[in-house]
């Protein structure tokens, strides 16, 4: 994460193009931090329509993005600092340790090193890196490697161009989500976990000022929760979406003295249980790799972060404090009328705050 670099921009746009919606945040840099100028989102899937991921084409993004730019009252040619994000299966990020190398040798050496650690073939790989620190005793370098496929970056660039935007910095979703917390909050010891719960995937990020950075995707999201409700409550898709908004993962027949999660009567594990299971596995792996189990807090972001009963359930199952993260908390003018503090804006906000 690039917190230590000098921030030079005066205004910036953070753009998060998700499978279910596009989010945009407009910030101004001030002497004391950041001022929120505007933020908006638009869905990319019509309300009440059950999405089929394999049928969703990237062609749908540009017209919606064009509409969003108009809503934000922005002129594409006047945007000087645009930071957008990519994510999903064709991206990867990993922190590694290597011997000290001078800058002129580092990039070529890391390309070969990356092929050992990142699951993208060399011919298709776009690679970037950041030196986090150099250890005094060993002189080893801790480096964050980030990669994507060339085809994914081309597709992303085409979306921006078709909406009249000039591509700027492109970051990974997991880094942006972490930056939305790190850049806008005082550093504290301990390890923090972000669960960015989208429509089809949950992006898990583990970060700490003094320990390893870790990120992975879990292939379940808010849409899967809705599918569970459709099955357990025998509802169609629009009805199940309404049920989820009203009741969350808590059964409407829940008794006060009992804990009841939707679809527990189904033989196989439901989405929340599967996500929790994968989080537990990742935490065990992190402890083994990083040697650090000082987990302080789980921060929920994304479109499904506010699902009723979710934070309580994760807190109970993982024995770690869990809360919905308000990414706008420390921004100037973030409580003005018409502005939401919606956790789905965490990635877009982290992008807008990204240093050059």
What does the pLDDT look like over 19-51, one tens digit per residue?
Answer: 999 999 999 988 888 899 999 999 999 888 898
The C-alpha atoms of residue 192 and residue 181 are separated, in whole angstroms, by 10
356, 352, 351: which is closest to 172 by C-alpha?
351
Quick one: the chain helix, strand, coil %, rounded to 5? 35, 25, 40
Q: Are 293 and 233 in contact (CB under 8 A)?
A: no
Q: What is the pLDDT of residue 337?
A: 57
Q: What is the pLDDT of residue 293?
A: 93
Distance from the first to the final alpha carbon of the chain: 12
pLDDT tens for each residue of 102-133: 888 888 888 887 877 777 776 788 889 899 88
What is the pTM for the complete model shown?
0.89
297, 273, 144, 143: which is closest to 206 by C-alpha?
297
Low-confidence ranges of the chain (pLDDT < 50): 1-5, 254-259, 263-266
Beta strand 82-86 with 169-172: parallel, antiparallel or unpaired?
parallel
Domains of the chain, CATH where assigned: 1-91+149-184+327-356 (3.30.420.40), 188-325 (3.30.420.40)
SS3 for 146? strand
pLDDT tens for each residue of 180-217: 998 878 767 899 999 999 999 999 999 988 889 999 99
Q: Are 191 and 295 in contact (CB under 8 A)?
A: yes
Q: What is the pLDDT of residue 330?
A: 82
Q: What is the pLDDT of residue 1?
A: 44
117, 73, 72: which is closest to 96 by C-alpha?
117
């Amino acid at each position: 994460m690039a917190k230590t670099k000098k921030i030079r921009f005066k205004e910036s746009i953070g753009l998060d193009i998700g499978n279910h919606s596009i989010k945009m945040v407009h910030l101004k840099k001030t002497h004391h931090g950041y001022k929120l100028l505007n933020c908006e989102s638009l869905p990319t899937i019509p309300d009440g329509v059950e999405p089929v991921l394999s049928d969703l084409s990237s062609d749908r993004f540009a017209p919606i993005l064009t509409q969003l730019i108009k809503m934000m009252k922005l002129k594409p040619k006047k945007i000087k600092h645009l930071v957008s994000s990519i994510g999903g299966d064709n991206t990867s990020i990993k922190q590694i340790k290597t011997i000290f190398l001078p800058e002129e040798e580092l990039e070529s050496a890391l390309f070969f090193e990356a092929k050992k650690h990142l699951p993208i073939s060399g011919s298709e790989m776009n690679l970037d890196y950041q030196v986090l620190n150099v250890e005094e005793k060993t002189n080893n370098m801790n480096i964050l490697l980030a990669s994507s496929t060339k085809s994914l970056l081309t597709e992303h660039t085409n979306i921006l161009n078709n909406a009249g935007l000039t591509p700027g910095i492109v970051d990974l979703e997991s880094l942006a989500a972490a930056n939305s917390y790190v850049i806008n909050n005082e550093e504290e010891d301990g390890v923090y976990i972000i669960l960015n719960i989208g429509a089809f995937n949950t992006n898990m990020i583990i970060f700490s000022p003094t320990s390893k950075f870790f990120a992975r995707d879990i292939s379940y999201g808010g849409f899967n929760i809705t599918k569970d409700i459709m099955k357990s409550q025998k509802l169609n898709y629009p009805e199940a979406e309404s049920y989820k908004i009203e009741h969350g993962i808590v059964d409407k027949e829940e008794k006060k003295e009992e804990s009841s999660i939707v679809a527990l009567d189904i033989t196989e594990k439901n989405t929340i249980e599967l996500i929790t299971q994968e989080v537990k596995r990742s935490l065990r792996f992190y402890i083994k790799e990083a040697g650090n189990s000082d987990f302080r807090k789980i921060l929920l972001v994304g479109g499904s972060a506010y699902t009723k009963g979710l934070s309580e359930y994760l807190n109970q199952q993982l024995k770690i404090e869990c809360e919905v993260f308000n990414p706008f908390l420390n921004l100037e003018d973030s409580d003005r009328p018409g502005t939401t503090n919606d956790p789905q804006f965490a990635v877009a906000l982290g992008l807008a705050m990204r240093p050059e």
